[in-house]
Structure 1
Amino acid sequence: MPRLLSGPNLEICPDYAANIYAAARAALINDHTTEQQAIQMLRVVWEAGNTVAKVQWQEQLDQERENQEAQAQLADEQRAQLAQAKRDEEESALKEERKKNKHRDKYTAIQNSGVPNETPVLPSPYALRRLQQGEYVDLWYFTNNGLDDALNTALTADDNAMVMSRLPDGSVTWTPATASRSSNTVVADQNLTFEEFCIACPRMITAMEQTNWTKERILMMATFWRNVQIHPFRSSRDPLAPKALLVYQAEQRKQWHIAVKAPEGPYDLSEINETLLDKTRMRVYWDERRKKDNERDYEVCHLTISQPFLGAHYLLF
């Protein structure tokens, strides 16, 4: 059956009573068939043909849809096979590289230089890997304690240990174990001292540059941290004001990283939202108030237990 080029669903039955169809009517008119009956016969024949065409058209559409789905499935399978082949190739290359460079450090040439005046800043491989992926990283990894922890871990870790990790696109790859786990002693941003915060910020900016963050985002983060450090709360006599800045910084930087993955995309973090900062300061105040109330209640309770009430016969007159 010839393939239909257009759909018959919107076709309208011709007006067989019109003069243009006079010859068609005349061919059907006889002693037993009137002109009106001839018109009706022509309509019935057309409708029957249109019904057949509709069925054929629907079959064509179904077949085309099946073909498209089959092609899409085939394309997905081919992409999956290519991705798996690429992962297998990368894994094989990584294993070969590890095998080839297993004890490379033993043979590294000694440079013609003495002990450096400044200790190099070598952050945790885990922190650098998170930055490489554009993910949130605690500032603690760039404090002195964080660098010391990274140094101690590097000296004791097994360089050959590998673990499977998931990339941002959902694929799985092998990575060194030291780059796949966080430190057990990490301190959240809001719990850092302001001195630690100020020390860590420029180090993280340098690490962002080394891990190919865009200049726009590096400038935004640098401006954000500068505005935190020069905010009037920083020099306030109220000890909770600087704490509020640290809490604000921690919360808003995490929120920004969440927004990066949202459909709306990231916003400019650099300017301090004074309304949010005031709300943060109030939360910090009430958290501290509840903490002190709990400590006071504990002390009162402990004192009552250790020194029970003395009866009246112990009173001195």
Structure 2
Amino acid sequence: MPRITQDPNLAESPDFDSIEFQAVYAPLATEANPVENIIGTLKAAWTHNNNAKKAAWEAQVEQDKAAEEATEQERQAAVEAEEAMKEKELQETEEANQREKEKRKPKVQNFTVNKVVDSVSDTCPSPYAIHKLRQGEYIELYYFTPEACSEAERAEQTAAKDNITFTSVGDQLFMKPAAAYKAAKKVIRDEDLTFKQLTLAKNDMLRHMGQEEWPEQHVVALSVFFFKLESHRLRKQDGGDTVVLRYQSQVCREWMEALKGTSDEDVFDISVINDLRLNQMYTEHLNARHSQGVLCIRKTTLSPRELWSSLGFLGGSRDAEMPGSLKSYSACLRCL
């Protein structure tokens, strides 16, 4: 249907009663259909046609209104989508800026107001030792002795600034003194430590294992292992400490390596002391002492002049006359 361009509500009905219209209808009038009837028919026809146009106009107006509303809705939706996109981009930019600010912030923890510093300075092993613990790898107890911790602190403080290495924390890289991340030059093997060093070192190592979030089961088992060794009856025997330290060194290394291994075999419980192995090691220790000549006597004959000369170092005079009783003396030395 063609589009209606004029509002039919504004249209005015023709003056069908005018002389001009009557002059047109007069020839059509008959006795059965006078002019008045013709005029009435024309008025009714025009009104009916105009009402139809009004209905079509109203429908057209509603369609236009609906189209305009749809267009407005589309425009509004486009505007809102654009604003939402801008808002999202702005939010993403702000979040990115906030993340960047967080990255630049010093990585420090909060502190407790009025909390006093510890009376004793806390020992801190080298970063190398902590890295080993963090990776679950075997590390000698020496690194956790007070002397090794002090040496690590001095090394980190005096390391040359141009000798640096990189370490990662999360998604960030930090520069650290390279010397602090190297193995110690003079590491004392576990079996060569004193029991005092062992006691101090194992306490510090267990504490740092907890801080590095080792499984509690592992930390407890290792703690029981050290406790049983410290109180083991073999320590009362001659050379017992040496054997117990050697057992600790071997078993602790084997346990750490087994934990990192890929074998399907179950890892042994380090807290269970193998007394048979300890006794065998003690027997081997005694045999080694015997074979090395710990209990044997080596006899050496010195000339009288050599003996008198050696005695001179003990307070006598080399130039003094040698007693005759020493002229045929043979000395025996015991090697321990």
Q: Shorter-normalised TM-score: what interval?
A: 0.5 to 0.7
Indicate conservation of the 8 Å contact 1:127/1:179, yes or no.
no
Amino acid aligned to 2:146: N
CA shift in 2, pair 1:278/1:116, >3 Å: same
CA shift in 2, pair 1:295/1:143, >3 Å: farther
For residue 289 of structure 1, report the CA deviation from its aligned partner: 3.3
Match of 2:227 in 1: 226
5+ residue gaps, structure 1: 1-95, 166-172, 309-313
CA shift in 2, pair 1:296/1:207, >3 Å: farther
Tell me the alpha carbon deviations over residues 187-223 of structure 1, each in whole angstroms, 9 at most, x when there is no partner: 1110111111111111111010111211111111111
- What TM-score, normalized to structure 1? 0.52
For residue 266 of structure 1, report the CA deviation from its aligned partner: 2.2
For residue 179 of structure 1, report the CA deviation from its aligned partner: 4.8
Amino acid aligned to 1:285: L
For residue 315 of structure 1, report the CA deviation from its aligned partner: 7.2
Match of 1:117 in 2: 119
For residue 288 of structure 1, report the CA deviation from its aligned partner: 3.2
Indicate conservation of the 8 Å contact 1:143/1:196, yes or no.
yes
CA shift in 2, pair 1:161/1:315, >3 Å: closer
* Counterpart pick for 1:156 among 149, 155, 158: 158
CA shift in 2, pair 1:254/1:174, >3 Å: farther
Amino acid aligned to 2:197: E
Indicate conservation of the 8 Å contact 1:142/1:204, yes or no.
yes
Indicate conservation of the 8 Å contact 1:122/1:147, yes or no.
yes
Indicate conservation of the 8 Å contact 1:123/1:146, yes or no.
yes
CA shift in 2, pair 1:181/1:272, >3 Å: same
Map residues 183-222 of structure 1 onto 2, 5 A cutoff.
Answer: 183-222=184-223
Match of 1:51 in 2: none
Amino acid aligned to 2:290: R
Alignment partners' CA distance in 1, 2:175 and 2:256: 23
For residue 232 of structure 1, report the CA deviation from its aligned partner: 0.9
Match of 1:145 in 2: 147
Alignment partners' CA distance in 2, 1:125 and 1:159: 17
Match of 1:255 in 2: 254
Match of 1:270 in 2: 271
For residue 157 of structure 1, report the CA deviation from its aligned partner: 1.8
CA shift in 2, pair 1:163/1:228, >3 Å: same
Amino acid aligned to 2:206: I
CA shift in 2, pair 1:221/1:315, >3 Å: closer
For residue 142 of structure 1, report the CA deviation from its aligned partner: 1.3
Map residues 99-118 of structure 1 onto 2, 5 A cutoff.
Answer: 116-118=118-120
For residue 287 of structure 1, report the CA deviation from its aligned partner: 3.1
Match of 2:84 in 1: none
CA shift in 2, pair 1:244/1:113, >3 Å: same
Tell me the alpha carbon deviations over residues 34-93 of structure 1, each in whole angstroms, 9 at most, x when there is no partner: xxxxxxxxxxxxxxxxxxxxxxxxxxxxxxxxxxxxxxxxxxxxxxxxxxxxxxxxxxxx
Tell me the alpha carbon deviations over residues 246-278 of structure 1, each in whole angstroms, 9 at most, x when there is no partner: 100001111112222141252211111011101
Indicate conservation of the 8 Å contact 1:130/1:136, yes or no.
yes
Larger Rg: 2
Amino acid aligned to 1:149: E
Indicate conservation of the 8 Å contact 2:141/2:190, yes or no.
yes
CA shift in 2, pair 1:114/1:208, >3 Å: closer
Indicate conservation of the 8 Å contact 1:125/1:178, yes or no.
no
CA shift in 2, pair 1:174/1:254, >3 Å: farther
CA shift in 2, pair 1:265/1:300, >3 Å: farther
Amino acid aligned to 1:136: Y
Alignment partners' CA distance in 1, 2:286 and 2:219: 32
5+ residue gaps, structure 2: 1-99, 168-172, 308-325, 329-336
Q: What RMSD over aligned residues (CA atoms) do the two structures have, in Å?
A: 4.0
Count of residues in correspondence between the two structures: 198
For residue 115 of structure 1, report the CA deviation from its aligned partner: 6.3
Tell me the alpha carbon deviations over residues 260-307 of structure 1, each in whole angstroms, 9 at most, x when there is no partner: 21412522111110111011112222333344559976x959x69x95
Q: What percentage of aligned pairs have identical amino acids?
A: 25
Amino acid aligned to 2:278: L
CA shift in 2, pair 1:265/1:220, >3 Å: same
Alignment partners' CA distance in 2, 1:269 and 1:126: 24
Indicate conservation of the 8 Å contact 1:224/1:271, yes or no.
yes
Amino acid aligned to 2:207: T
SS in 2 for 1:266: coil
Alignment partners' CA distance in 2, 1:174 and 1:284: 48
CA shift in 2, pair 1:291/1:193, >3 Å: farther
